[in-house]
Amino acid sequence: MELLDVYNEKGEKTGKVVDRSVDDASFVNGERIAVAIIYIENDKHEFLIQKTSKQKGNIYSATAGHVLHNEKPIEAIIREVKEELGIDISNEDIVDLGCLVVDFPVRFMFYLKKNIDLNELVLQKAEVQEVMYMSEKEIRTEIEKGTMNKDYVQSIMLDLVLDYSNKK
């Protein structure tokens, strides 16, 4: 059983804990769970995008996962990258871009500038069927086609990540 902390509409923990299998409809007064998401950008200004397994919807997404009970969002994204892609980013310069609360769940967003050789990745086949680098244009095309996870949210997150990346 995986336990998750419950957050409010400001991205703050409420002190309540739920089982991951709980139905979204059981949350009240703006309660929600949290996920951590990371956009990894290479030197060509492309982003590491994964295509989820058929069991997980067969859609494109940045690497992401639930923030577990008593886990910090940064710890969650380091764990998820290790589980899904087989790489350790714990000693990397991960940038915290804050949280985005536009619907359910709270999204804690992270950014990493790193050139990753896709051939060195060890994919968690139950979660990820393939990975690739995509340019901003390619990601926006997938958003328009409806093949990105939570399309409108991906667009907002991409804009925030690009804003940060372009200012560096």
Domains contained in the chain, number = 1
- Look up the CATH number of the domain holding residue 100: 3.90.79.10
The number of helices, as runs of H, and strands, as runs of E, in the chain is 3, 9
Instruction: Say how many C-beta atoms besides its own lie within 10 A of residue 97's C-beta.
Output: 19
Domain that holds residue 101: 3-167
DSSP characters over 39-99: EEE-TTS-EEEEEE-GGGTS-EE-EEEEPBTT--HHHHHHHHHHHHH----TTS--EEEEE
Per-residue pLDDT of the chain (168 residues; tens, 9 = 90+): 789 999 998 889 999 988 888 776 677 888 889 999 999 999 999 999 999 888 888 889 999 999 999 999 999 999 999 999 999 999 999 999 998 887 778 999 999 999 999 999 999 999 899 999 999 899 889 888 888 876 556 667 777 887 878 776
State the sign of the Cα–Cα–Cα–Cα dihedral 136, 87, 94, 148.
positive
